[in-house]
């Protein structure tokens, strides 16, 4: 048989020259083995390695010396500033004096007493800016003063608002001396005798006695006597006793309905009436 003719575009599947080129590239990229040193050849002179430490510090440049005139000028500036500050303080001290003092809420203390206690009596005059609440500490410490509020009104006015304590009862101590006290138990010097007389023995029960007097005030409380066992309240309609002040407030109306001039004893478990 006659073989078929090959097409012109046909190429052999393997290039015979390709293995040779691959072999040449492989020989080129192969590592070159270092030759062994020859002991007969002299060693080359290599330079010594340079030091890699930090550079030596550079000494600071000398500061320029201040001239005498410059130092003198600084001194004059400081002195001038101090003089201006002193002058301004003196101007505020005498230029803004306190000219008006308004006092309200005082009944027991007079106007002069309030001003003196508040440090506003003009005994030592001072400027409006230099008045502070600390000057009125004597006013706050007074027994009659419950609270005081002080307000500065520019440029020369001070307002003092006082809330005074009120006498509510009389306290008889163990020696028989009677003093008038406020609702919080503070003794009020010079107060007129008013309210029921509180007395007793044992541990002090001033707060509970004052509470009982206020709770039964509408029944005209005449006296309150305290002992370690309880409180005895004497009214114009009768007498009531209890070991717990809360029971006095709870069963206060029992005086109107059951006392009738007798005595009522209040216990946690019941009520005892004595006529």
Q: Based on the fold, state whether residues 158 and 184 are members of the same structural domain.
A: no
The CATH number of residue 139's host domain is 3.10.20
Whether 16 maps to a domain, the answer reads: no
pLDDT digits (tens, 9 = 90+) for 104-157: 999 999 999 999 898 887 665 566 666 776 778 889 899 999 999 988 888 788
Instruction: State how far the Cα of 95 lies from the Cα of 155, in Å rounded to an integer.
Output: 10
Q: Based on the fold, state whether residues 152 and 173 are members of the same structural domain.
A: no
Instruction: State which residues form the domain around 196.
Output: 167-274
Whether 151 maps to a domain, the answer reads: yes
Whether 46 maps to a domain, the answer reads: no
Of 124, 146, 164, the one marking the end of a domain is: 164
Report the predicted TM-score, pTM, of the whole model to 2 decimal places. Answer: 0.60
For residue 187, the 8-state DSSP code is: B
Instruction: State how far the Cα of 197 lies from the Cα of 171, in Å rounded to an integer.
Output: 6
Nearest Cα residue to 109 out of 146, 145, 149: 145
Q: Based on the fold, state whether residues 160 and 174 are members of the same structural domain.
A: no
Q: Based on the fold, state whether residues 191 and 248 are members of the same structural domain.
A: yes
* Residues with Cβ within 8 Å of residue 188, at least 6 apart in sequence: 108, 143, 144, 165, 167, 179, 180, 181, 182
* Residues with Cβ within 8 Å of residue 246, at least 6 apart in sequence: none
pLDDT at 91 over 90: no
Q: Based on the fold, state whether residues 224 and 136 are members of the same structural domain.
A: no
Q: Is the peptide bond before 155 cis (omega within 30 degrees of 0)?
A: yes
Q: How many domains does the chain have?
A: 2
């Amino acid at each position: 048989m006659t073989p078929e003719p090959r097409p012109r575009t046909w190429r052999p599947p393997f290039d015979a020259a390709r293995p040779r080129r691959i072999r040449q590239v492989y020989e080129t990229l192969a590592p070159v083995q270092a030759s062994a040193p020859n002991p007969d050849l002299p060693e080359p002179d290599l330079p010594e390695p340079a030091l890699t430490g930090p550079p030596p510090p550079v000494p600071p440049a000398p500061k320029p010396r201040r001239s005498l005139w410059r130092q003198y000028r600084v001194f004059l500036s400081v002195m001038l500033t101090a003089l201006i500050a002193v002058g301004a303080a003196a101007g505020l001290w005498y230029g803004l004096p306190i000219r008006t003092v308004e006092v309200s809420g005082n009944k027991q203390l007079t106007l002069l007493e309030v001003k003196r206690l508040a440090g506003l009596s003009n005994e030592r005059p001072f400027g409006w800016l230099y008045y502070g609440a600390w000057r009125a500490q004597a006013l706050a410490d007074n027994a009659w003063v419950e609270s005081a509020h002080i307000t500065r009104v520019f440029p020369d006015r001070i307002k003092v608002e006082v809330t005074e304590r009120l006498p509510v009862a009389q306290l008889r101590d163990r020696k028989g001396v009677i003093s008038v006290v406020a609702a919080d138990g503070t003794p009020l010097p010079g107060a007129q005798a008013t309210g029921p007389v509180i007395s007793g023995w044992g541990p002090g029960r001033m707060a509970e006695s004052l509470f009982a007097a206020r709770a039964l005030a509408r029944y005209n409380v005449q006296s309150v006597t305290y002992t370690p066992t309880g409180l005895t309240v004497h009214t114009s309609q009768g007498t009531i006793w209890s070991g717990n002040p809360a029971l006095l407030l709870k069963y206060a109306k029992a005086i109107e309905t059951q006392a009738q001039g007798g005595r009522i004893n209040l216990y946690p478990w019941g009520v005892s009436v004595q006529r």
